[in-house]
Structure formats: C-alpha cells, structure tokens
Structure 1
C-alpha cells in the first residue's frame, strides 16, 4: 500500500515533482477497526488529517473512502487544496477499485501537468476598519502581528460610516496562523469584527541562500533571496538586516554596503536552472 504508489511515481519519472490533490472524502457508515466496529470516518485517517491540517470533503456514501494509509500518503506527498494551480495537462491515468459503492465508478484519476513559471499558493487575508484608535496603538498592533508570524501587514486610509476617516488594517497570513493572528488583531485594536477571506495568489519561485560578500576589505555572510519566473531570474534581493549590521560594524552608510553587496550578486534577467 505504501511502496506501490512511490514506485509508480518513480517509474513515471515524476519523483521530485509537486503533487496536488483535492480534499479527500473520508466516508461514513460503520468501519471495522482493530478495536471493533466504529462509526466512520476511520479514526486513524481523521487523526492524520487533523494532525497535518488536511482539508476534507463530504460524501453521501456509507463506506470507508480514505484509509489511514491513504491519508498518510497525502500528508507526506501532496499539497491538498480546493483549487489546482494553473497547469496544462500532459498525460492522464486511471486506477479502478473492485469494491462497489452503489453510486458510480470507483476510480482514482491522476493527471500529469506542466505548470507555469509562477507558483500558486493559498493565503488568508484578515481585514478590519478602525476609526477610533491612536496611531501608537496601530503601530504596536502591526509589530505584534509581524512578531506572531504574519506574512505582511499594511494600513490603508479610507472613508467609513458617516463619512468618517478610517484605517483599514490588512494582514496576510496562512491557514495555520490566521486564527492566532485574528485574536492578536482583536486584542490589540479592540475591533468588534474581522473580515476573513482565503484567496489564491501567484508568486515567483523563490529560493534563499547565504553568500559571502566582500565589503570594506572584509568578508561577511549575507542572506539573499532569488526570485525566478519562467526559468529566468527576475529579482535578487539581499537581506536588509544583514546589510544594516555590516554598515554599523564598518561605520559606513547603508548605500555603500548595498552597492558592494550587489556587485557580487547575479543580475536579474539571467536564465536560471530548471528544477
């Protein structure tokens, strides 16, 4: 049950490729376990999905549809989401089960695809309007949200009810952190409500590495983020905090450090290696 799927992936030449899957239907009815018969879904499969925050789907079928082994394979091999990223189908394959379900074909479909140079990921956007709060409280709230793991936080001026000026705080996060960040946002600002939206976004493929750069006759480690799209490097950005530390240590300006660091980095537009 475990080795066969891995062998199929390897023999198809897909080892190392991203695997995307729709939320699995766990099933219902009565399921036989080592401890006796229990109501579905299978406790072990449900526990694995809960431990790995795998979204699940409903099904009217009164039978086990996702086994613990199947849930474990999804947890370790696949990105499970409601929507697939943009892709072009190349090959399709089907596997048929022998157990009748009384509702339709018992099959599993696999599609090999080519993906664009951009990567689709799911984000959660938290937003709230504030019209009776000081700038000091807003600044502190933004700092707390970033400390708690927000991907990004920003403030937008707007006009609210009764034509009063308001500040819209927007927090970009993921499924794992949004509940905690929502609590932080409400505690720090006193807002009575927060809008929550899950959205897809397309981003360049990014990699981070630490490189050694020479500045002022000395060598320093600097973290660098390289972004690629369609096989080409489109941005190379050194970490600001590392450059600031170098500037303080050498007693020179940040602009001088940035010029020296950027001389030793690859220029955007140069072709990147295919992964």
Structure 2
C-alpha cells in the first residue's frame, strides 16, 4: 500500500520546518548526517534537537553557517527591520544551477533522493530566473547558491526518500503579508520566486493576517516537487505524526505538522487492477523541436506517466504534431500548466480513461553479471519478467560488452527463474 503524507502548512512552509517534521516522523538522523557529510560543501554544520514551541514538543533542524556563508535568513531585524541591511552585508557565493547539480550528484544520495533534490532546485532556479529575466542556465543568485538552501533541499529529499513516502497531500499553504528584506532589496510578500512557483505549479495558498514571510522560496519549491494531491480523503486515520519548527518569530508559531495517513475503506492491494488516468492532447504546428524536447523533459519530471508526439496534418495541410500526455487525475493542472507555458498551444483536450493493469513489481535478482533489477509481471497466477534498462546499461558499460549481449543472457536467466516459480505454483 502506498504511504501517503499530509502536510499541514497553517504556518507556511520552509526547508528547515519540513525537514524537522520528517525527522520527527522517523526519518533516519544517521542516514541524513552521513549523506550531508558526503556533499562537497563547506561552511556549515547541522544540529538536530528537541524544542518546545507554543507548548508543543517538536523537532528543530538547524543549519549553522560560518561567518563567510551567513545570510541572516533567520535574523528578524534584518528581514523586517529598517535600515539594518548594510551592517549585515557580507560576500556570498553565487552558484548557478549546474554547480548545484554537480554538488548533489557528487553526494552519496539514493537515486530517488538525487532526482528529488535536482527537481526541487530546478523548480527554484526557474522561478528565480523568471523573476530576474534570465534563463536557468545563466542565472546566478544567492538563494539557490546559499549553503543552507542546498542543505535544506538535499535533507528534505533524503528524508522523504528514507520514509518511503509515495504520495504527498498539500491542500493549502498559508502566507503572510507585508515586505521582507533580501539580497535584491525590499520585496513584497509573497516574494517573486514564491509567486512564480505558486503560479507554475498551481499550489493553493491562503493569505493570513500575519505580517511576515511564511512561505520561503525553498519551502515553495519543495512543496511543488513533493505535492501529488491537493485534496484530503473524506475519511482517513493517522498512522503517525511529526512536528518541525522554524526559526522566524511571528505571531503565529512557525510549526509544520506532517502526518502519515491511511485512507479508510477498501485496501489498495485488494482493489481490482483498474485505474483511472487522464489523456491530455493538443495539436501544435508552430513550435520548434528544441521546445518539444524541453517540454517532454518538464512533463516527465512533473510526474507524467507517458508523453509522446504524433505527426499529423492540420488545416491548410500544415505539418504538425499532436502532443499526448498520460497522467494521473491529480496531476492534470500541473501538466496543463507546463503545456501552456512550454508550447504554443492555446487549447488542450482532456479525456478520462479507465485502464486495466497487470500486477507488477521490481525485484533484484542475482545474475551471472551480478545483481540486476527485474520487472516481474503476473497474470492468472503466471509470472514473467523483463530486465530493467538502467541495470542492463550499467552492466554493459562496466563489463565493456554490448547491451544486447547482456540483455539476452540476463533475460534467459530471468525466464528460467520464472519458469521454476510458475512450476511450483501449479
């Protein structure tokens, strides 16, 4: 059964608040500390403590920066004070997106944690690039380059992966009002990067009477990357809950609550192997190949089940492409936002479809080349398997042999293994 996480963001969201909540839920402190220590990054250390806030016991995740990297992100006088910016000014390292990705790829993260961290930074980078009128490749800014942002985002990805969370529900995120000081001057709340993320990923926010910034750019980017659903089930039980704290002092305590929930009713594993998916289509005759390639990458990164292009002829015999996206119902808004942003389409057709799927799972099998991942499918008590592409590719590159040679050998071994299991059943 998929593990579903509900994020209660009544006091907004920031990187440290979320990481604290995930640690409080049971994410491994040792794995987190070992992973962060593996990053080629200097100027920080972390502290994980139990604290009391608003009478509640919670987990505090603190990224302590040295004097060179300090950005005063938690300094209330700097953020909301008058005339205090100059005395707090210090040089910051301005990294670009490629440098940040290199740092993540060099760390000892799992594949899923790396993908999540890169996705979060891409969301944040594109939002900042849009705010500054430049591109993701060219933007250099302290928000993404700041050491604490890198640590917070990597930590969030590592903790979510460690908890084995599959789905995240974020119905609403509360935001304050007013202005906040930044490296770019005094900005209105929500700051441009946050507003861009909310617009692009259709996050739902609720403005409150709290004077101050409740949603940080890092927090918004994490929410956009993690969120798979925006509506809570009508009935559910709470399996476990955790509370993380923020450092900023506002009239509303900086607390974020995370709950692992279990939907009540028919267990997922006992449901019929049927699913409802959505097919999105649009015809485009005035968009370049590079844009199509980039659009496909964005759609897959946002969770599309499949994306493909079909050559068609439109009115006046114009050659064009039909863009087809297969996605889950809760991802429709996100996919449509990408299609409208990254292509020239002005309309999208939407069709709900039922599909029947086979039971399948991924296992690791010991082959003559070593461990390899296998996708095992089952129908009417009969199993068969296929070697996973990435595993075969990795072996082929390591052994210096062709992909087909490795695939054929492993596939034969998988077939024999499945035949033995099927014989035992019958």
Give the TM-score normalised by the residue count of structure 1.
0.55
Range moving further from structure 2, 249-258 or 262-271: 262-271
Matched, 1:226 2:376: yes
In structure 2, the residue matched to 1:159 is: 313
Alignment of 1:123-272 (within 5 A): 123-215=277-369, 219=370, 221-233=371-383, 235-266=384-415, 271=422
In the TM superposition, residue 272 of structure 1 has moved relative to its aligned partner by 8.4
Going from structure 1 to structure 2, the CA distance change for 1:273 and 1:195 (only over 3 Å counts) comes to farther
Query: Considering only CA atoms, is the larger Rg found in Structure 1 or Structure 2?
Result: 1
Q: Flag the structure with more relative contact order, 1 or 2, with Cα contacts below 8 A and sequence separation at least 6.
A: 2
Alignment partner of 1:76 out of 254, 260, 264: 264
Alignment of 1:14-163 (within 5 A): 50-52=231-233, 71-72=235-236, 75-78=263-266, 119-163=273-317
In structure 2, the residue matched to 1:24 is: none
For 1:148 and 1:248, the matched residues in 2 are separated by: 29
For 2:303 and 2:424, the matched residues in 1 are separated by: 31
For 2:349 and 2:381, the matched residues in 1 are separated by: 37
For 1:135 and 1:174, the matched residues in 2 are separated by: 26
Structure with a larger share of its residues in strand? 1
Does the 8 A contact of 2:284 with 2:344 survive in 1? no
- After superposition, the C-alpha distances for 1:15-59 in whole angstroms (9 at most, x for unaligned) are xxxxxxxxxxxxxxxxxxxxxxxxxxxxxxxxxx9323x6xxxxx
SS, match of residue 179 in structure 1: helix
Going from structure 1 to structure 2, the CA distance change for 1:237 and 1:160 (only over 3 Å counts) comes to same
Going from structure 1 to structure 2, the CA distance change for 1:174 and 1:127 (only over 3 Å counts) comes to same
Structure 2: give runs of 5+ residues left out of the alignment: 1-229, 238-261
SS, match of residue 283 in structure 2: strand
In the TM superposition, residue 187 of structure 1 has moved relative to its aligned partner by 1.1
Does the 8 A contact of 1:150 with 1:173 survive in 2? yes
Going from structure 1 to structure 2, the CA distance change for 1:50 and 1:147 (only over 3 Å counts) comes to closer
Moved over 6 A (4+): none
For 2:422 and 2:392, the matched residues in 1 are separated by: 26
Does the 8 A contact of 1:228 with 1:272 survive in 2? no
Structure with a larger share of its residues in helix? 2
SS, match of residue 265 in structure 1: helix
Going from structure 1 to structure 2, the CA distance change for 1:272 and 1:173 (only over 3 Å counts) comes to farther
Going from structure 1 to structure 2, the CA distance change for 1:148 and 1:165 (only over 3 Å counts) comes to same
Does the 8 A contact of 1:231 with 1:273 survive in 2? no
Does the 8 A contact of 1:225 with 1:238 survive in 2? yes
SS, match of residue 252 in structure 1: coil
Going from structure 1 to structure 2, the CA distance change for 1:173 and 1:246 (only over 3 Å counts) comes to same
Structure 1: give runs of 5+ residues left out of the alignment: 1-48, 55-70, 81-112
